[in-house]
Chains A and B, each alone.
Chain A
Amino acid sequence: MTLLETKGLGKNFGGILAVREFSLKVKRGSITALIGPNGAGKTTVFNLITGYLPVTRGEIFFRGERIDGLPPHKIVQSGIARTFQLVRIFPRLTVLENVTVALRNRRGESLWEGLVKTRRQKGEALENREKALECLDQVGLSGQKAQYAQNLGFGQQKLVEIARAMATEPELLLLDEPTAGLSQDMTTSVQNLIHGLKKQGKTILFIEHDMRVVMGISNWICVLNYGEKIAEGPPEEIKNNQRVIEAYLGSES
């Protein structure tokens, strides 16, 4: 069952076609990897899907409904969450606050509710704290909940970002290079985390350069080069795909 679908997606930056004719179907419950040499347009695709860049042509469907043209926060509200290549946490909020603030439908986010704290609000605040702690637990950072996010190491900040993304209760998670810059241990943790998320019924689309991770956990791989999809299929096929190998080798020379 297709959760996310892009049809003929294209992005033009003042004459430069960063993405062209990109069509992809992401199956519900799958882990799909988006790979390709640097500059292939992967993050651009993410930015298009999540509404941070306007689409030049093509359409994006989520759960059968069009989402291209919607502002980012609305796309998040419909069930897609993302992380960023260069971590974007809230530095001067604590780790717990970073996650709590992302929770869906929190009471008190309007002025009136902020002023008049009903008992129901207080009850929900406790519930929310629990939910946030659960997310932190999943990434193993409950111990750091009171630390200011800016004091955490890069790897831990990445985990906070993932926990925060999970707090929005998404159906689809877009992870932009989740293991970049991480040690081997942390990379394995993230891999396990992604597996765990799939078991919870989440769908994952992630950008990754580490081929071991890609081959290790993906159900499906999509390869991008110069903004175009050059190959798509299960890991075994992609591993031996001539065009893919050339694309990567070509980019190294």
Chain B
Amino acid sequence: MVNFLFHLLILMGIYTILSVSLNFMLGYGGIISICHGAFFGIGAYAGALISLKLGLPFVVEVVLAGTIAGLCGVMVAGPTLRLDEDYMSLATYAFGVIVFTVLNNWHSLTRGPLGLPGIPKIHLFSFVVDQLWSFACLVILFVAITIFCFTSWVRSPFGKVLTAIREDPVAASAVGKNVASFKIIATLVSTFFAGIAGVLLAHYLTFIDPTTFVIQESFVILGMVVFGGMGTILGPIAGALIMVFIPEALRFVGLSSFYAAHLRQLLFSALIILILLKRTQGLLGKEI
């Protein structure tokens, strides 16, 4: 039971990092992204490969993997900056599938569908994180860092400009803001943190394969943000907590894995549709 709680905590933490980071670029920046899971995956694979092949210190690995994810984010954001929303959703959807295709087919790098097993434990300075509780502490640390960073940014002038850009990019440039630059920076940090979440997952599961990062995963993360409330600070956190809890609880209660996976998807998609229909601002969103 205790182990289950730690497991829950770890997953909730990882998804909180994902939803909070996505919320920054989507909820505050208005940058449409339905491929956040792709950066999650890129970070996971980058981290796994770095620790398997290069054995760099954990802190370096995290920063490096995050940077790789961040740069990929910029690579997508750059050309798609001026696209209108419809095409942006299509382009990011396409990117998500492309990343999965690459992960699944670049056998020499990722071993394709076989995945990467045996991801080593985290060595933090002289401490080996090999207990569930210590891993949970590490995750909580990262979650705290994430929430601190994004909350500061949201409340800072940077965040206000970002929100202004979301509201009206033309007006934002009319008051002297370099809209493209703000959007790219926002995307960079968002995807950077998604990459970090991926590193944590990789070390937690010790085995990753492409099926963890299919396009549905991006949708789950998007769902957490939308459900919890886009453009608020607590919204994505609540969304992540709730939407990780439900399927895990079902699994704990003994529902077979087969049904759990399908029900999870059923539930998620139904919840998203319902929340968009009935309460577009999400659970904790403000109705202005």
Contacts and interface: CB of A to CB of B under 8 A. Distances in A.
Interface of A: 50, 52, 71-73, 76-77, 81-82, 84, 88-93, 97-98, 100-102, 104, 106-111, 113-115, 117, 148, 150, 164-165, 167-168
Given A76-B175, A115-B149, A167-B175, A108 B157 contact: yes
A214 B160 CA distance: 36
B156 interface: yes
Interface stretch (B8-16, B34-42, B177-185, B210-218): B177-185
B160 to A, nearest CB: 5
Contact of A73 (B152, B157, B176, B189): B176
A71 B173 contact: yes
Contacts of A113: 156-158
B78 to A, nearest CB: 15
B171 A90 contact: yes
Quick one: which of B153, B159, B171, B178 has the most chain A CB within 10 A?
B171
Contacts of B160: 93, 97, 100-101
A114 B161 CA distance: 11
A81 B174 contact: yes
B174 A107 contact: no
Contacts of A101: 157, 160-161, 164, 172, 175, 177
Contact of A88 (B153, B157, B158, B168): B168
Contacts of B153: 111, 114-115
Contacts of A77: 176
Contacts of B176: 73, 76-77, 102, 104, 168
B164 A110 contact: no
A114 B157 contact: yes
B288 A93 contact: no
B179 A73 contact: yes
Nearest to A78: B176
A111 B158 contact: yes
A72 B158 contact: no
A148 B177 CA distance: 21
Contacts of A50: 174
Interface in B172-202: 172-179, 185, 189
Contacts of A82: 174
Contacts of A98: 164
Nearest to A72: B173
A92 B288 contact: yes
B164 to A, nearest CB: 5
Given A73-B179, A101-B175, A102-B176, A114 B159 contact: yes
B178 A73 contact: yes
Interface string B118-146: 00000000000000000000000000000
A106 B160 CA distance: 11
A129 to B, nearest CB: 12
Contacts of A109: 156-158, 161
Contacts of B149: 115
Contacts of A88: 168, 170-171, 174
24 contacts: A50-B174, A71-B178, A72-B173, A72-B174, A73-B177, A73-B179, A77-B176, A81-B175, A84-B170, A88-B170, A89-B171, A92-B288, A102-B175, A102-B176, A107-B157, A109-B161, A113-B158, A114-B156, A114-B157, A115-B152, A117-B152, A150-B288, A165-B174, A165-B175
B167 A90 contact: yes
A90 B288 contact: no
A133 B148 CA distance: 30
B104 interface: no
A108 B182 CA distance: 13
A168 B288 contact: no
A249 to B, nearest CB: 35
What 6 pairs across the A-B complex have the smallest Cβ distances? A114-B156, A108-B157, A102-B175, A76-B176, A90-B167, A88-B171
Nearest to B170: A88
A12 B167 CA distance: 30
A90 B164 CA distance: 6
B74 to A, nearest CB: 14
Greatest chain B CB density within 10 A among A52, A73, A91, A104 is at A73
B70 to A, nearest CB: 12
A100 B175 CA distance: 10
Max chain B C-beta neighbours (<10 A), residue from A114, A150, A164:
A114
A189 B161 CA distance: 30
